[in-house]
Amino acid sequence: MREFDYVVIGSGIAGLTFALKAAGKGSVALITKRGRADSNTAWAQGGVACVTSEEDSFDLHIRDTVTAGAGLCHEDAVREIITQGPDRISELLQLGMHFDRRETMNGESELDLGREGGHSKRRVLHFQDSTGMEIERTLLDQIAGHPGIELMENHMAVDFITTGKLGYAMENSCVGVYVLNEESGEVETLRSDVNVLATGGCGKVYLYTTNPDVATGDGVAMAWRAGGLIANMEFIQFHPTCLFHPEVKSFLISEVVRGEGGYLLDARGRRFMEKHNSQKELAPRDVVARAIDAEMKRSGSKCVFLDITHKPADFVKSRFPNIYETCLKHGIDITKQPIPVVPAAHYQCGGVKTDLNGETSLRGLFAIGEVACTGLHGANRLASNSLLEGLVVAHNAFEKSSRNRPPRVAFDLPEWRPGHVSDVDEMVVISHNWEEIRRLMWDYVGIVRTDKRLQRAATRLRNLHTEVQEFYWNFKITTDLLELRNLVTVASLVVDCALNRKESRGLHFTLDYPDRDDAKFLRDTTMRRT
């Protein structure tokens, strides 16, 4: 057993921010299941929404967020996160973060603010179209060689250790975590009174996603198994514009392309968004994704097109260098050709239920970033609010977990007991189940749902859960097996939450209940393992 003051699981913006702050107070174990830069943060293109312009205001940003959230935003969370934004951005700049700037009429330099769907003002700070990667670089530069942080790459968290599981007659608390060392194949025991989930989202539960391969919902599944409260998992945001190309998977075409004037076109080259919403291409993501889905189903086409060719070529190349180069590499010159796009799973608005300090229902367990449900996003996330949330709630979680900490209670945690297990003899079974989960979620629990489709998904997931549990108890654990176990758990939570919401709201749209029902469902959907 190894002891730390803080155990942080995940190396995106939230996990790295917390680890850096906590390292000044005690020892930190920073766990990441792949390399240090493998996170949803590193894939974020758009930027960070924050009020920095005199033409903008906190009240406007709050209004835009609440409007996008379709009635389910917690306004205290919205106000706290948005008003803290400038201070957290200032800290990031002090660490060496570079945001794009532009020259003003009088020759001075100011932040070059972008605009995205649902925003009434330009307020998105960005670094070209690779903002997340630049944030990741900035924070990792600070982490590198830090004496207070032990970075554990290629380590995957398996399960939390709780006093309830250990049989203590006390409030159920999280006191440690089992972690698989992927290189040795051994499971290590880490002891801490402060355990922080920063594992990101669950995009890989769907067949098509903009997320990296690490986004398998690990944190939500772990918190669920430990007895934590889970909320609003029915609200999965589908990004409207993922590149449609046979040789490319998961490449996002940033919302900023529409924010800078890009048009959505149908298969015949006609704009169609005005038929669906008065904001046209700048409507919130749930509206745009459903509009694209409807157009594709109406015409039978495999994609729609995003056209930015009416803008100067030099502007397009300088504003979207990563998108331009990636598309060009695959035969699409976006200065001359529209980009084929389709919706894809992008962001989970629900997650482990927390307060504004990242505290969960389980003592000793914090959740920050996309894995958490703070109430900021409601039923639909406003573009570029996620990175802001990661910064703010990581800061709050550090402040709360480090303030007046009592002496560490001694717990002699048991070592991992694998039992009589063997190596997985048929990896094809794991890969088949993985693909089946992702396909049924895409077919039955996608942008448009029905009770019949959801029930079909629930039935098959129950069977898959039984199969996966059999693998888990009879074979030596691997990363693939652990991810499969987490995927089936998170998929079931999404389906169960969706079945419990008998209305359409935000990202959850069902043909059986097409209208919003504030009388019955103006509340979070919460679930806890029984």
Active site residues: 285
What sign has the CA pseudo-torsion 491, 497, 503, 505?
A: negative
* CB < 8 Å & 24+ apart, contacts of 85-93: 85/48, 85/49, 85/50, 85/51, 85/388, 85/391, 85/392, 86/50, 86/51, 86/52, 88/388, 88/391, 88/392, 88/395, 89/48, 89/50, 89/52, 89/125, 89/391, 91/391, 91/395, 92/135, 92/138, 92/391
Q: Across-strand partners of 248?
A: 245
Residue 291 vs residues 235, 266, 304: alpha-carbon distances, Å: 17, 11, 10
DSSP letter (8 states) at residue 408: P
CB neighbour class for 329 (10 Å; exposed up to 12, middle 13-18, buried from 19) = exposed
Tokens 């159920």 belong to which residue?
A: 172
Start-to-end C-alpha separation, the chain: 29
And the tokens for 243? 């590149």
Question: Residue 207's CB: how many other CB atoms inside 10 A?
Answer: 16
- DSSP state, 413? P
